[in-house]
Amino acid sequence: MTDYSKDYSKDFPILEKEIYGKRLVYLDNAATSQKPDSVIRTLSEFYRSDNSNIHRGVHYLSEISSERYEKARAKVSDFIGADDPGEVTFTAGTTDSINQVACSLKPILEGNEVLISGVEHHSNIVPWQLAGAKLRAIPMDEDCNLLPDSIEITDRTKMIAISHASNVLGSVNPVKEITEIAKEHDVPVLVDAAQSIQHLPIDVRDIGCDFLAFSGHKMYAATGVGVLYTSERFSDIMPSRGGGGMIDRVTLERTTYLKPPLRFEAGTPHIAGAISIGAAIDYMQNIGMDHIRKREHEVYSYAREKLLGTDGVTVYGNTDLMCGSISFNLDEIHHYDTGLILDKLGIAVRTGHHCAQPLMRTLGTEGTVRASFALYNTKEDADRLLEGMEKVRMMYA
């Protein structure tokens, strides 16, 4: 039988820290996750022994760096079930990935429509607006769950862009159902996997999406690096940025571009960051994504049930499949005050609108307290959160 009680926090040096004399309980993983020792060592060893620019040199170090960078790409490709590493582009993160798609497709999107959901992060709203598209939200039920059967696709719908999991509610959206509907209308689908890649096994072929975006730093790797999966059928879209490394031939009159992935990687990428994603994938795969999902589910459900059973607490969202984030408020107590007091108790949560202002309007609140979980969090962490909230309440009684 699988042992769900293993303490993975030992792999994460920062989690040994005490904050205000108390063991750190880190519940701000949706903002960024902590890094295991293996990822920290990979980053440091890369700069100590292999650092060089990639793809452009004939010398030894450049070949080693290029090889490590491409190996990381192949690992990502395998991890998300892509057909070919050529479908994987390293970007600066989820925000950058979505902006790149919006910018490349601007001529098609301008004056037309992008379907999103009402739970999106601003990163999956603003890039489409900048590309000149109008946004329409897929209808939701009272728990903010999408209703795929109510999707209305018109001639002007040129993209469906949906988060896989909400960074506020933790609800997992029915992305596969949505891509199936989109396919009937030949509309491309972008999935924002910023809040799912670290929690659930993901297979782009199974989901059937055309684009998948995620960030390294939320999946135990470095900041400033991310991934954009682009399915082969979009391999010839115009690159959104130009520069070194992505061209076939340049003249002053005209430039031709390489095939993906290099076509979409202008300039020097975050080489060490990409390699750190490879190391993070190794770390997660050694544990097993199914194991991570089940273990996290135990802790997540435990915390959620306890919160739901606490008087004077409103917990937002509710669906069968949830992961990562739980948002709530204590009656009559501002989310910011709750967060400040929890911090003094060594518990790191996030408060505010979580870059999801349209969702906050739907929930009828300016902000929430968000506790977000990772594979190293335990039921003891959830208990510390609950105890902390009790103290907050006593202070405001």
User: Which spans of this chain sit near ligand PLP (rule: CB under 6 A)?
Assistant: 30, 93-95, 121, 123-124, 163, 167, 192, 194-195, 215
Task: Provide, rounded to whole angstroms, the least separation between the CB of residue 315 and ligand PLP.
Answer: 19
**Sign of the dihedral through C-alpha 353, 354, 357, 363:** negative
Give the residue with the Cβ less far from ligand PLP, 179 or 215.
215
- Rounded CA separation 143/171 (Å): 9
Task: Provide, rounded to whole angstroms, the least separation between the CB of residue 370 and ligand PLP.
Answer: 10
Q: Are 173 and 163 in contact (CB under 8 A)?
A: yes
Give the residue with the Cβ less far from ligand PLP, 169 or 299.
169
**Beta strands 247-250 and 255-257: pairing type?**
antiparallel
Q: Give the residue carrying structure tokens 């409103």.
A: 314
Task: Provide, rounded to whole angstroms, the least separation between the CB of residue 163 and ligand PLP.
Answer: 4
Q: Are 223 and 203 in contact (CB under 8 A)?
A: no
The residues assigned a catalytic role are 355
Read off the tokens for 140.
């939701």
Q: Are 289 and 200 in contact (CB under 8 A)?
A: yes
Q: Which of 194, 270, 182, 188 shows the shortest CA–CA distance to 234?
A: 188
Q: Which of 346, 260, 252, 244 shows the shortest CA–CA distance to 15?
A: 346
Question: CB count, 10 Å around CB of 100?
Answer: 23
Task: Provide, rounded to whole angstroms, the least separation between the CB of residue 230 and ligand PLP.
Answer: 17
Task: Provide, rounded to whole angstroms, the least separation between the CB of residue 280 and ligand PLP.
Answer: 14
Give the residue with the Cβ less far from ligand PLP, 207 or 330.
207
Give the residue with the Cβ less far from ligand PLP, 167 or 351.
167
Give the residue with the Cβ less far from ligand PLP, 179 or 195.
195
Question: CB count, 10 Å around CB of 289?
Answer: 17
- Rounded CA separation 297/42 (Å): 29
Cα dist. 167→107, 258, 261, 350, 364 in Å? 30, 35, 28, 11, 17
